[in-house]
């Protein structure tokens, strides 16, 4: 099964690194879309079905928290697993996104192995999320 | 502020070296700025401000050549293979973004919450860089024969 994924980050470099890491992880990637901020991500997510969203927190126009809140309030899009990839390491922030149902939290800088483990955990390991949020970094 | 007096520049140094190593596979060596070689190439300055628990700014000065190096390292390609459409400032902004995020928790701990403003990058004229170097009071490194300046300025 190929997974449709959206990468949301205002850094083109980070998006490229994540794209490459996804392809190297061995996970079957179907449609892979990129967004510069939360607003662009919403346009993409409303236009098709996606299996996973990677999102940064600090972005212009619409940040990651705003995106997560918007998705959580949508009956259909609230079911899409979200992985936060951020420089922010405060325990409060991690708890905040955890409470909103985010499946994993990866701190930058990240290694390809981190992303691979997250994908395995979120998409393949435990689809019901019983293991709680996966924190890496 | 942390309960124990810790030198923020020492923390910043460790964080920067770690980020360069883990994200860009580059090794930074400390250099005495007074003894560092003269720079005769285009330079860029990147700044990032943070607010929340406290306020301040991180500053990074690096050559345009080094921006290309870290872009290639981040993308996993040779510098000559970097597509023309790639913004060479982006890797520099992200380098300082990651450094700042890691510095916040390393220095202030994991409890305080900070908001980071998007990093800004601009070119420096030779005169601007010379003046920056003359009055600089921060960290200086050599990375692959490239001089890097990094500083931390808390808001009073």
Q: What's the structural domain count of chain B?
A: 1
Closest CA to A81 of A109, A34, A45: A45
Per-domain boundaries in chain A: 7-50+60-78+97-104
Domain assignment of residue B1, yes or no = no
Interface test with B, best of A9, A11, A17, A18 (most B CBs within 10 A): A11
End-to-end CA distance of chain B: 12
Q: Smallest Cα–Cα separation from A107: which of B30, B103, B93?
A: B103
What whole-number distance in Å separates Cα of residue B75 and Cα of residue A59? 21
Which chain A residue is nearest to residue B101, measuring alpha carbons?
A87
Residues of B in contact with A110 (CB under 8 A): 23
The model's pLDDT over B61-111, given as tens digits with 9 standing for 90+, comes to 999 999 999 999 988 899 899 989 899 999 999 999 999 999 999 999 999
Q: Which domain holds residue B85?
A: 8-154
The answer to whether the beta carbons of residues B121 and B45 sit under 8 Å apart is yes
Is B3 among the domain residues? no
- pLDDT by position in tens, chain A (length 137): 899 999 999 999 999 989 988 888 888 899 999 999 999 999 999 999 999 999 999 898 999 999 999 999 999 999 999 999 999 999 999 999 989 989 999 999 888 888 888 988 888 765 444 445 666 66
What ipTM score was computed for the predicted complex, to two decimals?
A: 0.83
Phi first, then psi: what are they for A15, rounded to 5°?
-60, -40
Query: How many other C-beta atoms can be found within 10 angstroms of the C-beta atom of residue A125?
Result: 12
Query: In this structure, which topology does domain A7-50+60-78+97-104 adopt according to CATH?
Result: Rossmann fold (3.40.50)
Residue B94 falls within a domain, yes or no?
Answer: yes
d(CA A41, CA A62): 9
CB B114 within 8 A of CB B50: yes
Q: How many CB pairs under 8 A join A and B?
A: 73
Using CA coordinates, name the residue in chain B closest to A58: B116
CB-based contact, B83 to chain A, within 8 Å: no
> How many other CB atoms are there within 10 angstroms of residue B114's CB atom?
23
Q: Is residue B2 part of a domain?
A: no
B36/chain A closest Cα distance in angstroms: 28
Q: Is residue B91 part of a domain?
A: yes
Position B73 in a domain? yes
A16 by Cβ neighbours in 10 Å (0-12 / 13-18 / 19+) ranks as buried
- CATH classification at residue B46: 3.40.1550.10
CB contact under 8 A, A89 and B113: no
Q: B70: which 2 tokens?
A: 């870290």
């Amino acid at each position: 099964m190929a997974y449709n994924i959206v990468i949301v980050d205002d850094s083109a470099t980070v998006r490229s690194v994540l794209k490459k890491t996804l392809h190297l992880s061995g996970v079957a990637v179907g449609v892979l879309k990129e967004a510069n901020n939360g607003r662009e991500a919403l346009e993409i997510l409303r236009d098709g079905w996606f299996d996973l969203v990677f999102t940064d927190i600090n972005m212009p126009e619409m940040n990651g928290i705003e995106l997560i809140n918007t998705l959580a309030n949508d009956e259909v899009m609230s079911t899409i697993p979200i992985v936060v990839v951020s420089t922010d390491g405060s325990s409060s922030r991690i708890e905040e996104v955890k409470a909103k149902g985010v499946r994993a939290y990866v701190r930058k800088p990240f290694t390809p192995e981190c992303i691979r483990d997250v994908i395995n955990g979120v998409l393949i390991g435990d689809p019901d999320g019983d293991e709680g949020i996966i924190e890496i970094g | 502020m942390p309960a124990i007096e810790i030198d923020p520049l020492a923390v910043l140094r460790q964080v920067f070296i770690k980020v360069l190593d883990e994200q860009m596979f580059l090794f930074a060596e400390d250099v005495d700025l007074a003894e560092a070689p003269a720079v005769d190439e285009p330079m860029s300055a990147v700044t990032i401000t943070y607010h929340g628990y406290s306020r301040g700014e991180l500053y990074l000065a690096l050559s345009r050549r080094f921006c290309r190096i870290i872009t290639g390292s981040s993308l996993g390609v040779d510098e000559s293979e970097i597509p023309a459409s790639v913004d060479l400032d982006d890797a520099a902004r992200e380098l300082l973004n990651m450094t700042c995020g890691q510095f916040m928790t390393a220095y202030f701990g994991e409890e305080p919450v900070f908001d980071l403003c998007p990093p800004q990058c601009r070119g420096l004229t030779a005169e601007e860089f010379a003046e920056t170097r003359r009055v600089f009071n921060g960290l200086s490194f050599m990375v692959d024969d490239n001089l890097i300046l990094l500083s931390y300025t808390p808001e009073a």
